[in-house]
Amino acid sequence: MQDDVKRGRGRPKAWDDKGTQNTIKSLDRALEVLVQLGEMQGGTLSQVAGALDQSPATVYRVLTTFQGRGFVDFDEQTQVWTIGPAAFLTGSQFLRRTSLVERARPIMRELMEATGETANLGIERDGMVLFLGQVETHATIRAFFPPGTASAMHASGIGKALLCRMDDKRQRQVLAASQLEQYTPFTLTDPEAMIADLRASKTRGYAVDAEERNIGMRCIAAPVFNVFGEVVAGISVSGPTTRITEDRIDALAAHVMDAAARLTRAIGGNNRPA
């Protein structure tokens, strides 16, 4: 009885031990298949098995098991496996844990209407930017980051808006993990240059991705804060450099910062972080 009180009701003795002896290896391998299929956005059995370096027979058993639960679909004609509706429904529960997405939606729509560019919402997850929502512009050329998309923080407007508000230790950890991978000739790959860019972003209140992830695309982002003044999300507008020209950055940034401040207030956050 005393042991139960110490570790909490319903918790096994090994609750704090996250070692391999307390994981289910077959389940872990099965989830690898599901994650890989999602990253590939669909594939044949041989493609999925090859990508994971697993036997087709093993992968087939995993896929058919997931298919039975609706987590994957199979097209008989093309022989292609894809993520199924059950995976979406389960994953969407993540978005319901917080009012952030719900509160952000009308603000993002107004931001899109005010700027004429696609509005985005993202958070940091495992050293990456995880996009939670998007309101697309009516223009024919647009940026596209569907919910669930992950992107490198150092080459993202939202990523840099989040990074610039992190403490120095966490900031350098994230940058070291990313290894500042180069995506375009404009990607900042020198650590000191990146740190200087983040300091400038913090000072002016917004960050800019100037073709650092995709040539011809520019993004302007600002941070969103919680009640403790901690950065919890970023909101941005993104579009082609032909529309988001350098002489428009300040004007667009004013709209983005206003949207970020409104979202901060909407979630009960502190708009004057330390």
User: What gap in Å lies between CA 267 and CA 199, rounded to an integer?
Assistant: 26
For residue 157, is it within any domain? Answer: yes
Q: For residue 245, how many C-alpha atoms fall within 13 Å in the half-sphere facing its CB?
A: 3
The answer to whether residue 272 sits within a structural domain is no
Is 21 contained in some domain?
yes
Do 113 and 188 fall into the same domain?
yes
The confidence score (pLDDT) of residue 217 equals: 95
Work out the percent of the chain whose per-residue pLDDT is above 70. 87
Q: Tell me whether residue 271 is in a domain.
A: no
Q: Measured between alpha carbons, how far is 231 from 229 in angstroms, rounded to an integer? A: 7
- pLDDT number for residue 161: 97
Tens of pLDDT, residue by residue over 207-232, are: 999 999 999 999 999 999 988 899 99
- Shared domain for 82 and 202, answered yes or no, is no
Structure tokens at 174: 């994230």
pTM of the predicted model as reported, rounded to 2 decimal places: 0.68
Question: What CATH number should be reported for the domain holding residue 57?
Answer: 1.10.10.10
Tell me which residue range forms the domain holding 54: 2-90
Phi/psi for 135 (5° steps) reads -120, 110
> Above 80 in pLDDT, residue 11?
no
Q: Confirm whether 78 is domain-assigned.
A: yes
- DSSP, collapsed to helix, strand or coil, labels residue 49 as helix
- Encode pLDDT of 182-212 as tens digits: 999 999 999 999 999 999 999 999 999 999 9
Q: What is the DSSP string of 131-200?
A: EEEEE--SSSS-----TT-EEEGGG-HHHHHHHTTS-HHHHHHHHHHHTT--SSTTS--SHHHHHHHHHH
- Give percent helix, percent strand, percent coil of the chain, each to the nearest 5: 50, 20, 35
Task: Quote the CA–CA distance of 44 and 129 in Å, as a whole number.
Answer: 29
How many domains does the structure of the chain reveal?
Answer: 2
Q: Tell me the Ramachandran region of residue 188: left when phi exceeds 0, alpha when psi lies from -120 to 50, beta otherwise.
A: beta
Tell me, yes or no, whether 50 and 164 share the same domain. Answer: no
